[in-house]
């Protein structure tokens, strides 16, 4: 008869084996804090202004514990390519949102249950994978350029199809979109500021709390 300790050891081994199979044959695939990186470590000159680290957002509440942009390393490097492309034009990026915990996604959905603007947390957002970024253009001095709307404008004015805009704003939107697409991002039709890594499906949903990764 097996001892209780031996039975426990066997049970743990079986459990680890099941986890390994579920994650494609390697425990390295399980999401960890290291799954996302601080974008400033990859792009030191990136301007980071996380709107949800302040109360200046559509919820009116502070939802992130620090003003830091976290993305998967793959996505961060693509963002770096977009930044380099814009530098050729004496321009740059300012990011407003990056990785977003799934728990925060649920708060957004409770306030704006409209899949055109907020992803249903049952499916998850690209932001929840660390593979989406909300960004705008800045000049060489870091000043924001004129764009169609403010951030998180849940109206048709924010759509890429909105052509009823001054010529300079249309040009700015096009410059941003072209740089992001060239770097490997896909624009969201309803939000001019939102771009998804074209490899987002390769990454799992995450719910790492900001107060955990902000200490790293």
Task: List residues with catalytic annotation.
Answer: 191
- C-alpha span between 202 and 149 (Å, rounded): 31
Residue 21 class from Cβ within 10 Å (0-12 exposed, 13-18 middle, 19+ buried)?
exposed
- C-alpha span between 109 and 95 (Å, rounded): 22
The residue behind tokens 């306030």 is 111
Q: Parallel, antiparallel, or unpaired: how do β-strands 91-97 and 47-48 relate? A: parallel
- C-alpha span between 93 and 87 (Å, rounded): 9
- C-alpha span between 146 and 174 (Å, rounded): 12
């Amino acid at each position: 008869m097996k001892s209780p300790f031996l039975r426990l050891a066997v049970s743990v081994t079986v459990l680890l084996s099941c986890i390994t199979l579920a994650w494609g044959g390697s425990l390295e695939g399980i999401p960890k804090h290291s799954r996302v990186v601080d974008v400033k470590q990859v792009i030191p000159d990136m301007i980071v202004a996380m709107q949800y680290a302040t109360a200046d957002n559509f919820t009116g509440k502070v939802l992130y514990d620090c003003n830091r942009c976290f993305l998967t390393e793959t996505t961060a490097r693509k963002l770096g390519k977009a930044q380099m492309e814009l530098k050729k034009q004496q321009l740059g990026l300012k990011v407003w949102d990056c990785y977003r915990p799934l728990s925060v996604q649920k708060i957004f959905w409770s306030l704006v249950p409209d899949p055109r603007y907020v992803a249903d947390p049952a499916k998850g957002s690209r932001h929840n994978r660390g593979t989406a970024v909300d960004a705008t253009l800045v000049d060489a001095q870091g000043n924001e350029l004129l764009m169609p709307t403010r951030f998180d404008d849940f109206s048709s004015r924010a759509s890429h199809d909105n052509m009823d805009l001054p010529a300079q704003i249309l040009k700015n939107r096009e410059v941003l979109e072209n740089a992001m697409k060239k770097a490997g991002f896909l624009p969201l039709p309803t939000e001019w500021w939102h771009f998804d890594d074209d490899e987002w499906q390769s990454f799992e949903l995450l719910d790492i709390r900001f107060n955990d990764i902000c200490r790293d």
